[in-house]
A = this chain, B = another copy of it.
Amino acid sequence: MEIAVIGTGMVGRAFATRLAGLGHDVVIGTRDVEQTLARTEPDDRGIPPLSTWFADNPDARLVAMADAGAHGELIINATLGANAIEALTLVGADNLAGKVLLDISLPLDRTEGWPPGLSIVNDDSLGELIQRTFPDTRVVKSLTTVQYEVMLNPARLPGDHLMFVAGDDADAKAAVTTLLEEFGWRPGGLFDLGGISAARAIEMYSRLQFTLAGFYPDYQFNIALVRPAADHA
């Protein structure tokens, strides 16, 4: 599948590597290709320059946002949530029209320290904001409830732990679910929460998620659903 990953951070890079390993035709979108490639120092969050990642991923392709949008049948928003609308606007509403947009970003607000708050919360969500901003795009919210290594390799944790999907378009959710199953997510853990407004449930869970991360700094955890025993009989 032709997939565009928007965002060159650790999450975007890990997705590009994993997707290419699964045989997908992947590009990474960035604002300014030359500037991104020219960096030789870690950025202000300590993330190594992309050039070090390219050394291990020589076939990877870094392209301008609009070119990424033109390439992808499926677009993955792996930006920082605060930058999502701006980045997706550069990807282009025309390029996004009709396509599946998998939103794996959170609108984290770090101004009050740790654990982070949310800049959009309670009566709205970033997933809904993206869907409203790009009404012809089929937005699916998923994956943000775990750390990116778990997103891409859920077998790092035992059993049928939970992965939620939310979105208004059933076909788009089916396409994302297929991708999740390629990553290793098991049907017993996949949970369709309903329309894109359920992105509020996914995003608001992040407060508990990051509070728990304070106890498990390796971030290797998730939650599983527990139901009465008879329900599983």
Contacts and interface: CB of A to CB of B under 8 A. Distances in A.
Interface of A: 112, 115, 117-118, 121-123, 156-159, 161-162, 193-194, 198, 200-202, 204-205, 207-208, 211-212, 214, 216, 220-229
Nearest to A220: B228
Determine chain A's interface SS by DSSP, over half rule: mixed
B227 A157 contact: yes
Contacts of A200: 207
B226 A161 contact: yes
Contacts of A122: 117-118, 121-122, 207
B121 A112 contact: no
A198 B211 contact: yes
A225 B156 CA distance: 14
Given A122-B117, A157-B228, A223-B225, A204 B202 contact: no
Contacts of A216: 227
A24 to B, nearest CB: 27
Contacts of A225: 212, 221, 223-224
B123 A117 contact: yes
A122 B194 CA distance: 23
A229 B220 CA distance: 11
A168 to B, nearest CB: 15
Contacts of A162: 223
B211 A220 contact: no
Contacts of A226: 157-159, 161, 221-224
Contacts of A123: 112, 117
Given A123-B117, A226-B161, A229-B158, A207 B208 contact: no
Contact of A158 (B115, B159, B212, B228): B228
A204 B194 contact: no
Contact of A201 (B115, B220, B228): B115
A156 B223 contact: no
A201 B194 contact: no
Contacts of A224: 223-226
18 contacts: A115-B201, A117-B123, A157-B227, A158-B226, A162-B223, A194-B211, A194-B214, A200-B207, A201-B211, A201-B212, A204-B204, A204-B205, A205-B205, A212-B225, A221-B225, A221-B226, A223-B224, A224-B225
